[in-house]
Amino acid sequence: MRATYKTFFVFYVLISNVFVNAFEPISTTFVGLGFTAVGRKMYNYVYGESCDSKWITFNSTGLEVALDQKLFGQHVASRVIQKAVTGFMNNKKPKKPLVLSLHGWTGTGKNFISQLIAENLYKEGMASSFIHQFVSTAHFPHLSQIEDYKSELQQWVKGNVTNCPRSMFIFDEMDKMHPGLIDCIKPYLEYYENLDGVTYRQAIFIFLSNAGGEKITQVALDFWKAGRDREEIKLHDLEPALSLSVFNNKNSGLWHSSLIDKNLVDFFVPFLPLEYRHILLCGMAEMSAKGLEPNQDVVDQMARDLVYSPKSEKIFSVKGCKTINGRLDYFT
């Protein structure tokens, strides 16, 4: 009887989703993103996840431990993320959503840190229906459809925040997004108490981008050449130049963005390029995650096989820890 009841509601959810879409111009791009707010709400009801403290509870200690033990070589990003997210979650009456812009080379931990935030906020982690992830090249590929994307993105954000105020939106590949598109959500990041009856102040928006990576790397290289410890690098050594670099980068989705111009991004978080020693730590952690006995010799062979830059000094791993999973299979 229970199975029949659930089957009926799943069928109802699907029909509801189609019905709502008949009145909302959702393109094939956005159909792939999941149910509409109405369909998603019914889905949550059937399968158990709901927008309350049973499913959404922030674990500050868990995030701190995860950042300390699982994220390597990112002392600046770890500290900023821990303080920013904890401060926001402990604020009972935030005046605006939390907006974080994460920058750095590929493989330095930007996606991973988003995952750690999710795992310590939502019971379902990244599988939570209250997390919405967009990849620019997959979801917004055509410049000719940018006006449609803007309208649909606004509907998506509004509908899902209406469904759950504590929603998280992750925008990946911001450096490949069409300039001007992200500005369509500017009203939702402002200091409004509510907008058309919806309050966005409890939501979290995270932008991931490779833009600014060269600027971050140059600062890290300058510290190395001056004989200064990497851990001496502070946020103020990077953030002002980073935000300016991203704002003026014509190949970035944040080029001349009103989000930056109106100071709606709370933190520009730099991810430093990873050195050989960090690759070793990533390798050992990956072996443990695979259920293997960590082997220093195997990890060392794998790390030495990677490409490092600049060509003369060979300090920083070009791909960070991104390819380690597959490469370990080759060496084990």
- For residue 54, the 8-state DSSP code is T
Task: Give 241: exposed, middle or buried? Use CB within 10 Å, 0-12, 13-18, 19+.
Answer: middle
Percent of the chain topping pLDDT 70: 86
pLDDT at residue 26 is higher than 80: no
Q: What is the mean pLDDT of residues 168-179?
A: 95
Q: What is the CATH T-level fold of the domain 60-271, as seen in this structure?
A: Rossmann fold (3.40.50)
Residues sharing a CB contact under 8 Å with residue 315, sequence separation 6 or more, in sequence order: 221, 224, 273, 275, 276, 308, 309
Across 31-35, 110-114, 146-150, 172-176, least confident range: 31-35
Mean pLDDT, residues 287-312 taken together: 93
Look at residue 226 and give its three-state secondary structure: coil
The per-residue pLDDT for range 118-129, each reduced to its tens digit, is: 999 999 999 999
d(CA 38, CA 170): 21
Please state the domain extents for the chain.
2-47, 60-271, 276-331
Burial 101-124 (b: 16+ CB within 10 A, else e): bbbbbebbbbbbbbbbbbbbbbeb
Percent of the residues in the chain that have a pLDDT greater than 90, as a whole number: 76
Q: Where residue 39 falls among pLDDT bands split at 50, 70, 90?
A: low
Q: How far is CA 74 from the centre of its chain?
A: 15
Task: Enter the DSSP assignment of 41.
Answer: H
Report the alpha-carbon distance of residue 201 to residue 305 in Å, rounded: 47
Residue 80 or residue 42, greater confidence: 80
Residue 27 pLDDT > 90, yes or no?
no
